[in-house]
Amino acid sequence: MKAINHIKLEFPSIPANVRLARVTVAAFASELDYDVSVLEEIKVAVSEAVTNAIVHGYQKDPKGLVTLTASLYDSSLEIVVEDRGRGINNLERALEPGEGTEPERMGLGFVFMRTFMDELEVNSEPGQGTTVIMRKKLPGEVKAMWFNEN
C-alpha cells in the first residue's frame, strides 16, 4: 500500500536525538487530529524505540546511524525505527516486561510501545540490527478528510 504522506529521518546514535525524533514525529502526527493525550503517548513510544536503538543497538556509539520513518496510510500512522546495531538474541524474552539488561533500565520500553500504539512488530537479527514497526489507527474524521482532498 502506498503511503499518502511520509517523512524519513536519519541521525547519529546520540542521546540528544531522542528528543529530536519524538518531536519530529509529533509534528508529523499533529496534522492528523489525534487527541493531545494520544500525541503524548506516541511521543513516548518513539522515545522508547529510539532510546533502545542508541542504548542497546549501538551501545551509545555515536558512529551508529538510526533511521526513523513516519508514514501516513489511509487508516493508520506507521512509525519505523531501525538500527544496524547488535540485534536482539532472545526476542521473545526481550519483549517481556521487566526484561531490562541493566539494573536501572526497567524493561518498560517495549511495554510502553505496546501499550501506547495499536500494533508493535519487532524484527531483529543478532549482529545485523533491529527494526521496530509501530502503528496507530487514525482518528476517523481525518481519514475522511484526507480522502476527500485526495
Partner 1 sequence: MYVELQMKNVGRWEGRLLNLEIKNMGDTLMVKITGDFDLELADHCRREIDRNYEKEAVKNILFDLTGIDFIDSSGLGVILGRYRKVKENEGRVVIASGDSRIIKLLNLSGITRLIPVYPNTAQALKHLSGKVM
Ligand X SMILES: Nc1ncnc2c1ncn2[C@@H]1O[C@H](COP(=O)(O)OP(=O)(O)O)[C@@H](O)[C@H]1O
- Binding residues vs Mg ion (CB under 5 A): 52, 109
- Ranges within 27-46 binding partner 1 (CB under 8 A): 37, 40, 43-44
| Amino acid making up residue 80 | V
Write the interaction track for ligand X spanning residues 85-114; mark x where CB under 6 A is met and - where it is not.
xxxx-----x----xxx---xxxxxx----
Nearer Cβ to Mg ion (100/139): 100
What 3-state class would DSSP assign to 80?
strand
What is the nearest approach in angstroms of ligand X to the Cβ of residue 13?
Answer: 10
Is position 19 an interface residue for partner 1 (rule: CB under 8 A)?
yes
- Ranges within 45-104 binding partner 1 (CB under 8 A): 47-48, 51, 54-55, 103-104
> Contact region for ligand X (CB under 6 A) — 21-29, 50-58, 67-75, 137-145?
50-58
Q: Which residues are catalytic?
A: 48, 52, 105
Cβ–Cβ under 8 Å, residues 53 and 129? no
Query: Can you tell me the distance from the alpha carbon of 36 to that of 31, in angstroms, rounded to the nearest whole number?
Result: 12
What is the nearest approach in angstroms of partner 1 to the Cβ of residue 60?
Answer: 9
Contacts 24+ apart (CB under 8 A), 113-117: 113/45, 113/48, 113/49, 115/41, 116/41, 116/42, 116/44, 116/45, 117/41, 117/42, 117/45, 117/79
Burial label, 37 (beta-carbon count in 10 A; 0-12, 13-18, 19+): exposed
Nearer Cβ to Mg ion (52/69): 52
Binding site for ligand X (CB under 6 A): 48, 52-53, 56-57, 83, 85-88, 94, 99-101, 105-110, 130
